Structure 1
Amino acid sequence: MKTAVISATGLWTPPHSISNEELVKSYNAWADSWNVAYAAEIGAGTVDPKTHSSVEFIEKASGIKSRFVIDKEGIIDPETMAPRIDERPNDQISVMAEMAVLAARDALERAGRKPEDIDAVICAASNMQRAYPAMAVEIQNALGCGGFAFDMNVACSSATFGIQTAADFIRSGSARSVLMVNPEICSGHLNFTDRDSHFIFGDVATAVLVEEESIAPAGHWKILGTKLKTEFSNNIRNNFGFLNRAAPEGIGAPDKLFMQEGRKVFREVVPMVANMIAEHLGELGLQGSDLRRMWLHQANANMNRLIASKVLGHEATEDESPTVLDTYANTSSAGSIIAFHKHSGDLKPGEKGLICSFGAGYSAGSVFVEKTA
């Protein structure tokens, strides 16, 4: 069986950033206008008034301080409260494909690869811009890659599921070089008028080049093992789709955007992920003490703190479990890849680490890696 490795990663970050202060100001202005518009109903007790958000609330609940977005003006406009992304004609590259191409080129350049060296492209993301033709095929075409391409969606775990899929292609001999990309326009499915979640997401694109070890550049990351897990839960959901497009409440209704039962998610996902990591460590003959670093899914600082402590047996330092959540917010499938991309260059040959993602589904994926010389 062939050995799969991570040869390089790539990152593209949008040019616009929104601070918590800016987001809170726009939300509170919207809430005040809503309360004025529904003053009669509020006075009659038939509806509850909208309460203000605050920087302190956001940072305590999530650890997020800012987020990068495709469109800033629409999000912080109290009369819009959503990104305004112009629709492109069909003869132009789509927004999501363009983001992925930029991240992919970064990864290819770092690995010294040309697009024609790639055998397969996987576009793994929480939301696709369209159902078909596949985003991955458009990305493949824009880059000039050969082989085949397809999309996959496992919400926030899409990247780790994509890495295992790419690694399986390498192991079986179906491909020697697989490009896995994660373009995430999370602001497009976030309800910016929901106080409990209006701060959660940001936009970004990442790329991971998975290759056969014999052709990988020096300093690559050997994939020691991958493990995937799913358990059905409706506590994190996004019901938008073509089957309910014509629902009476309309496309923009809250039920068609991101929704979650936050406390339930926390209680159920933390032990699920910690147990999965522990099981995977045992299967590989490793212990938590063998890990130099953990690149965890960037959704909630408190969740990561608890998961890391369960795996390592102590409170993780920033060096052991680095955070990008504070500046990028939750970028769904891309979060753990951003953390790996930004905080892996200092590891020495022989040191091991864990890339782990988890989210809606529930879904979770772990990828143990070892730095080579």
Structure 2
Amino acid sequence: MLNQLGAGIAITGSGSATPDVILDNPQLERMVETSDEWITSRTGIRERRLADDQIRLSAIAAQAAQNALTMAQIAATDLDLIILATSTPDDLFGTACQIQSLLGASKAVAFDMTAACSGFVFGMVTAAQFIRTGVYKNVLLIGADILSRWVNWSDRGTCILFGDGAGAVVMQANESDRFLGFEIRSDGTQNHSLQLTYNAQPKEIVKDIAVAQGNFGPITMNGKEVYRFAVQKVPEVIEKALFRANLSAEQIDWLLLHQANQRILDAVAQRLKIPTQKVLSNLARYGNTSAASIPLALDEAVRQGKIQSGDLIATAGFGAGLTWGSAIFLWGK
């Protein structure tokens, strides 16, 4: 049955890619004053993947994208649109077009969007609107970040959290509608809680005319405030998305949250009364990969056979902005 708003939508393929370099907690113990036990008990993270100075975001994003295209059994030349959700592009003017070139997706328009750790969910909602209106039929959505570029490796409050990676899904027009509901939100008054800001220095270019020049970073975060925000807002936004889909939390097969902190995952599941066995988590191996975390965990669960066609998935992202959002969908055609 088609959704009354327009064309139905199906999520037909997933893919992921991560760098080979692994930084584990014992190695971090030699860098900053921390311990494996402290990191694991407070975050659930045991190791994370890091991109070396030769790896470009476009390369791992294209690898994840190609894996998703292969699963969906669609050629890159059939794509109408590529959306890259990222906060760490190779080029500040945008990296999606580089990925389009690497894939050979000659017919696809491509653009970047930034909503930090909420980026993938915001990207799903954005892609859905293009399909709903009938403008595009085949959309590739990529979530990818190389946060190690912007981490202060002497700050034990943030350097233990972040890793690098990419994940992707193919979203297609479909006879039956599998994208069932969403809710996305923003609150700029809390922007200071999690930032990667531009640091400007004045430079006089001619007499009495000065411009700002500088660079970005590193990441700064008020961990307690972000934790409090996530535990309060994420269950609410999932409930709103479920309401829009005319569904209840009891009907969820899998809860797929942004992989930020295991305590947040546990607290959200507890508030929604979702049993632990329905909560997807690969946080221990990858850490917080920002916009990549949801598609990374999704692809892993699909390829492990956990997620089956027709399974009901409630996903939610939350992070800098502050931004947060949820999408409810059935996996597969």
Give me the TM-score of the superposition, normalised by structure 2. 0.89
The correspondence for 2:271, drawn from 310, 316, 320, is: 310
The correspondence for 2:20, drawn from 6, 15, 21, is: 15
The correspondence for 2:59, drawn from 90, 98, 101, is: 98
User: Is the partner of 2:280 in helix, strand or coil?
Assistant: coil
Q: What is aligned with 2:34?
A: 53
Say whether residues 1:228 and 2:189 are aligned partners.
Answer: no
**Alignment map for 1:61-76 (pairs within 5 Å):** 61-71=42-52
Superposed displacement of residue 245, structure 1: 9.0
More strand by share: 2
The correspondence for 1:340, drawn from 287, 298, 313, is: 298
Structure 2: which 5+ runs fail to align? 1-5, 204-210
After superposition, the C-alpha distances for 1:307-332 in whole angstroms (9 at most, x for unaligned) are 11112x25x31x21021100000000
User: Is the partner of 1:26 in helix, strand or coil?
Assistant: coil
- The more displaced of 110-119 and 272-281 is 272-281
The correspondence for 1:327, drawn from 260, 277, 285, is: 285
Superposed displacement of residue 244, structure 1: 5.6
Matches of 1:183 and 1:244 in 2, distance apart? Answer: 30
Q: What is aligned with 1:82?
A: none
Q: Which amino acid aligns with 1:309?
A: Q
Cα distance change on mapping 1:258 and 1:116 into 2, 3 Å: same
Q: Which amino acid aligns with 1:336?
A: I
Superposed displacement of residue 56, structure 1: 1.4
After superposition, the C-alpha distances for 1:90-133 in whole angstroms (9 at most, x for unaligned) are xxxx811111111111011111111101001111112222222x
Superposed displacement of residue 349, structure 1: 4.8
Cα distance change on mapping 1:101 and 1:349 into 2, 3 Å: closer
Matches of 1:147 and 1:197 in 2, distance apart? Answer: 37
Q: Which structure would you say has the larger Rg?
A: 1
Matches of 1:280 and 1:205 in 2, distance apart? Answer: 25
Matches of 2:99 and 2:69 in 1, distance apart? Answer: 14
Matches of 1:13 and 1:198 in 2, distance apart? Answer: 18
Matches of 2:228 and 2:74 in 1, distance apart? Answer: 43
Q: What is aligned with 1:369?
A: 329
Q: What is aligned with 2:206?
A: none
Q: What is aligned with 2:92?
A: 131
| Larger relative contact order (CA 8 Å, sep ≥ 6) | 2
After superposition, the C-alpha distances for 1:251-307 in whole angstroms (9 at most, x for unaligned) are 58xxx2111111111112211111111122122221110101101110001011111
Q: Which amino acid aligns with 1:141?
A: S
After superposition, the C-alpha distances for 1:182-201 in whole angstroms (9 at most, x for unaligned) are 22101111111002122111
Q: Which amino acid aligns with 1:321?
A: V
Q: What is the number of equivalent residue pairs in this alignment? A: 316
Cα distance change on mapping 1:348 and 1:328 into 2, 3 Å: closer
Q: What is aligned with 1:239?
A: 197
Say whether residues 1:269 and 2:230 are aligned partners.
Answer: yes
**Contact preservation (8 Å) 2:162, 2:288:** yes
User: Is the partner of 2:142 in helix, strand or coil?
Assistant: strand
Cα distance change on mapping 1:244 and 1:325 into 2, 3 Å: farther
Matches of 1:248 and 1:275 in 2, distance apart? Answer: 41
User: Is the partner of 2:178 in helix, strand or coil?
Assistant: strand
**Contact preservation (8 Å) 1:269, 1:362:** no
**Contact preservation (8 Å) 1:155, 1:359:** yes
Matches of 1:191 and 1:70 in 2, distance apart? Answer: 15
**Contact preservation (8 Å) 1:182, 1:333:** yes
Cα distance change on mapping 1:245 and 1:328 into 2, 3 Å: farther
**Contact preservation (8 Å) 1:340, 1:355:** no
**Contact preservation (8 Å) 1:245, 1:251:** no
Matches of 1:147 and 1:245 in 2, distance apart? Answer: 40
Q: What is aligned with 2:247?
A: 286
Cα distance change on mapping 1:136 and 1:350 into 2, 3 Å: closer
The correspondence for 1:110, drawn from 56, 60, 71, is: 71
The root-mean-square deviation of aligned C-alpha atoms, in Å, is: 2.3
Matches of 1:283 and 1:222 in 2, distance apart? Answer: 13
Structure 1: which 5+ runs fail to align? 28-51, 72-84, 87-93
User: Is the partner of 1:282 in helix, strand or coil?
Assistant: helix
**Contact preservation (8 Å) 1:127, 1:155:** no
User: Is the partner of 2:30 in helix, strand or coil?
Assistant: helix
User: Is the partner of 2:117 in helix, strand or coil?
Assistant: coil
Give me the TM-score of the superposition, normalised by structure 1. 0.80
Matches of 1:186 and 1:162 in 2, distance apart? Answer: 19
Superposed displacement of residue 210, structure 1: 0.8
User: Is the partner of 2:122 in helix, strand or coil?
Assistant: helix
Matches of 1:157 and 1:276 in 2, distance apart? Answer: 12
**Contact preservation (8 Å) 1:5, 1:167:** no
User: Is the partner of 1:327 in helix, strand or coil?
Assistant: helix
**Contact preservation (8 Å) 2:127, 2:141:** yes
